């Protein structure tokens, strides 16, 4: 077991850190609490792609940089420290590219991958519906045959990137109930509508409803084999949960950094508040939980990279990291006293951002049910 970064990882992280601090931070500053506009997101994704964010998971033959997942996770964590919304946008885009690279025909890859990898096109992945959340098996959106194409009918909600998306990989049910779920690619130009959702935090990351009102799409849009949509969605959860953990860790890191800097300067009772023992306890708890969260994330990424079934470990990583980020950001508020609650600083924003992360890609309860099922051998869901 080697806890040291390799030389390549160090170079990749340093390069991204410099770019994120110099170019991303000022560009997204006005959008800390509102969706990053599409043109800006595209421009930044285009540049991030060169650093391996948005392009790292794909092999070179598909136009990607073929990074190992540990390196990719560290890059996302670093970017999320500066802009969790942009990290989230890139993460979803990269997931859409991966689905197309893995399941797509050569023609589908040619049609969508180059623009997605270059940041010229933004994708989203649409599973959740108004009546379908944790139980993805219940998806009701349908794709029915119409001549040589499909008509897609239904509604999706809470879809990341949807408001600024150019295309959506939509999980649908076919006409035949027994056939199970499939994935179909619908382009914005085919005619889907989106409505942005206002939410507690992560408002820099578009989250929207999608409406498919009998949208006609050509016959060559099915991704992978019909009926393979659920299996594929569940398979990708292992990887996705590690990256949700990475974004949570980035948010937690920003909160910890701010707290450490503050206790080194703020004075009460004639000394720096960092010299008070109970303030040190707050900082020590934050740092210890963040380290534990990072180690769980790195183990998860390492196992996914090796292709080993690891849903126990990835659920642990997602569950612990996202819950820890909420506790860490809450302690950062405590450390800052009333200033931690002020909208004029960003401490309360870290808390609101962190609070968003326990829900997507399986709530904390669902992660615990996965862990429990795998340890005990009895499924509670
Ligand atoms: C920031 C964000 C981004 C998102 N991005 C996407 C996206 O890109 N694409 C997409 O398709 N979806 C996305 N989602 C939706 C997300 O995947 C769902 O919100 C999540 O799966 C939970 O579903 P739900 O909100 O409908 O809650 P529900 O499933 O209705 O759950 C409500 C409560 O009941 C609990 N619960 C449910 N079932 C059980 C059970 N069997 N045992 C114990 N407790 C249970 C849950 O833990 C929760 O506390 C996103 C959500 C958020 C917040």
Q: Which of 104, 121, 138 is the last residue of a domain?
A: 121
Q: What is the pLDDT of residue 41?
A: 98
282, 332: one domain: yes
Q: Which atom of ligand 1 is nearest to the CA of 135?
A: 29
140, 24: one domain: no
Residue 221 Cα to ligand 1 midpoint, Å, equals 27
Contact 41, 98 (CB under 8 A): no
275, 356: one domain: yes
Contact 284, 331 (CB under 8 A): no
Residues 6+ apart with CB under 8 A from 245: 73, 293, 296, 297, 300, 317, 318, 320, 321, 322
| pLDDT tens, N- to C-terminus, the chain (381 residues) | 889 999 999 999 999 999 999 999 999 999 999 999 999 999 999 999 999 999 999 999 999 999 999 999 999 999 999 999 999 999 999 999 999 999 999 999 999 999 999 999 999 999 999 999 999 999 999 999 999 999 999 999 999 999 999 999 999 998 777 789 999 999 999 999 999 999 999 999 999 999 999 999 999 999 999 888 778 778 889 999 999 999 999 999 999 999 999 999 999 999 999 999 999 999 999 999 999 999 999 999 999 999 999 999 999 999 999 999 999 999 999 999 999 999 999 999 999 999 999 999 999 999 999 999 999 999 998
Q: How many residues does the chain have?
A: 381
**Residue 381 included in any domain:** no
The domain that holds 128 is classified in CATH as 2.40.110.10
Residue 209 Cα to ligand 1 midpoint, Å, equals 14
**Residue 77 included in any domain:** yes
234, 354: one domain: yes
For ligand 1, atom 17, name the residue with the nearest CA: 360
CA distance 232 to 239: 12
CA distance 305 to 142: 34
82, 183: one domain: no
Mapping DSSP to helix (H, G, I), strand (E, B) and coil, where does residue 99 land? Answer: helix
Domain that holds residue 92: 7-121
**Residue 2 included in any domain:** no
Whether ligand 1 lies within 6 angstroms of the CB of 360 is answered as yes
198, 265: one domain: no
146, 107: one domain: no
Q: What is the pLDDT of residue 245?
A: 98
**Residue 299 included in any domain:** yes
Whether ligand 1 lies within 6 angstroms of the CB of 358 is answered as no
For ligand 1, atom 6, name the residue with the nearest CA: 159
Q: Which of 227, 242, 276 is the last residue of a domain?
A: 227
Q: Dihedral, CA atoms, 6, 7, 12, 18, nearest 10 degrees?
A: 120
Whether ligand 1 lies within 6 angstroms of the CB of 133 is answered as yes
Token look-up 């910890």 returns 256
The domain that holds 294 is classified in CATH as 1.20.140.10
**Residue 49 included in any domain:** yes
Q: What is the pLDDT of residue 231?
A: 81
235, 370: one domain: yes
In Å, how far are 255, 290, 348 from 345, measured between CA atoms?
Answer: 11, 22, 7
Q: What is the pLDDT of residue 230?
A: 78
284, 218: one domain: no
180, 128: one domain: yes
Whether ligand 1 lies within 6 angstroms of the CB of 171 is answered as no
Q: What is the pLDDT of residue 179?
A: 80
Return the H-helix or E-strand segment holding 233: helix 229-263
49, 84: one domain: yes
Q: What is the pLDDT of residue 175?
A: 79
146, 219: one domain: yes
Q: Report the number of distinct structural domains present in the chain.
A: 3
Contact 128, 156 (CB under 8 A): yes
Q: Which of 227, 261, 277 is the last residue of a domain?
A: 227
**Residue 216 included in any domain:** yes
The domain that holds 95 is classified in CATH as 1.10.540.10
**Residue 1 included in any domain:** no
Supply 60's token pair: 């070179």
């Amino acid at each position: 077991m080697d806890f040291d970064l390799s030389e390549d990882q160090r170079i990749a992280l340093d390069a991204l850190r410099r770019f994120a601090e110099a170019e991303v931070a000022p560009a997204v500053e006005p959008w800390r609490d509102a969706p990053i506009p599409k043109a800006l997101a595209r421009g930044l994704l285009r540049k991030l792609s060169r650093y391996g964010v948005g392009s790292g998971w794909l092999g070179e033959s598909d136009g990607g940089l073929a990074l190992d997942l540990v390196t990719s996770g560290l890059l996302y964590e670093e970017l999320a420290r500066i802009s969790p919304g942009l990290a989230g946008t890139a993460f979803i885009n990269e997931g859409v590219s991966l689905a197309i690279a893995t399941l797509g025909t050569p023609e589908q890859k040619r049609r969508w991958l180059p623009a997605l990898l270059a940041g010229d096109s933004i994708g989203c992945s649409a599973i959740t519906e108004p009546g379908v959340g944790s139980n993805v098996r219940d998806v009701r959106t349908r794709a029915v045959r119409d001549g040589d194409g499909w008509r897609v009918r239904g509604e999706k909600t809470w879809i990341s990137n949807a408001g600024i998306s150019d295309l959506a990989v939509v999980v649908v049910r076919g006409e035949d109930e027994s056939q199970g779920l499939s994935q179909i690619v619908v382009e914005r130009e085919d005619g889907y509508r989106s409505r942005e959702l206002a939410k507690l935090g992560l408002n820099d990351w578009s989250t929207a409803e999608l409406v498919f009102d009998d949208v006609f799409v050509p016959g060559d849009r099915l991704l992978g084999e019909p009926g393979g949509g659920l299996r594929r969605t569940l398979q990708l959860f292992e990887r996705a949960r590690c990256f949700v953990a990475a974004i949570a860790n980035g948010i937690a890191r920003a909160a910890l950094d701010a707290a450490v800097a503050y206790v080194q300067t703020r004075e009460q009772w004639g000394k720096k508040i960092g010299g008070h023992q109970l303030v040190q306890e707050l900082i020590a708890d934050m740092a210890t939980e963040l380290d534990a969260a990072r180690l769980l994330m790195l183990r998860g990424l390492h196992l996914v990279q090796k292709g080993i079934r690891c849903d126990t470990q990835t659920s642990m990583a997602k569950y612990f990291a996202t819950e820890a980020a909420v506790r860490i950001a809450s302690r950062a508020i405590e450390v800052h006293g009333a200033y931690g609650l002020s909208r004029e600083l960003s401490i309360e924003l870290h808390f609101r951002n962190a609070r968003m992360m326990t829900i997507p890609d399986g709530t904390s309860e669902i992660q615990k049910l996965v862990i429990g099922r795998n340890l005990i051998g009895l499924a509670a869901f």
